[in-house]
Amino acid sequence: MSLVIRGQQIRLAALLETREAIEPFCAQLAARYRTADDLKVLDAANEAIADENSTLAAFLQANVDWHVGVAIASHNELLTGLMTALSRAIYTATENERFIDAEVRRLTAKAHLSITEAIRAQNPEAAVRRMNRHVHSYAQAVLEVEERTEISVPEEA
């Protein structure tokens, strides 16, 4: 998957649809199979996301780290590989200073904490429902303001 994505133009809608298809299931599995170490990773990412003084780049990286962390917590190697492969595209797609303001940061932190708590409580139904609402709401909101219809995924360094 990384080879397909690297250096390519990807339709933003395709990326958002893919995220809506797989991320709720990752959250559901994470709620079933997460470990204490998985929770530490999610908590660290949540702390970084909530830092109001962080740069946009630091916020975006923490956001990607959290989403990949949920996939890792699913303990499904294929989903983890897919989310890892998509991580650069997710970062690039979310890199929009006009969209990522203080309110979006606050809402993101709140959504991530809510999903993390469902994962911590090992409540798969709540985890899938909350993640679905999170990625769907993001997709709807970003499509309203995003001028790009495709994103260029840079080659990894």
Instruction: Say how far residue 45 (Cα) sits from the centre of its chain.
Output: 11
Structure-token pair, residue 25:
């299931």
| 35-91 pLDDT, tens digit each | 999 999 999 999 999 999 999 999 999 999 999 999 999 999 999 999 998 998 888
pLDDT at 157: 46
Structure-token pair, residue 101:
């303001």
**Res 155 pLDDT > 80:** no
CA distance 73 to 80: 8
- Domain 15-146 fold is Four Helix Bundle (Hemerythrin (Met), subunit A) (1.20.120)
Residues 25, 128 contacting (CB under 8 angstroms): yes
Q: How confident is the model at residue 96 (pLDDT cuts 50, 70, 90)?
A: confident
Closest listed residue to residue 58, CA positions, set 113, 4, 95: 95
137 CB-near residues (< 8 Å, 6+ apart):
111
CA distance 142 to 139: 5
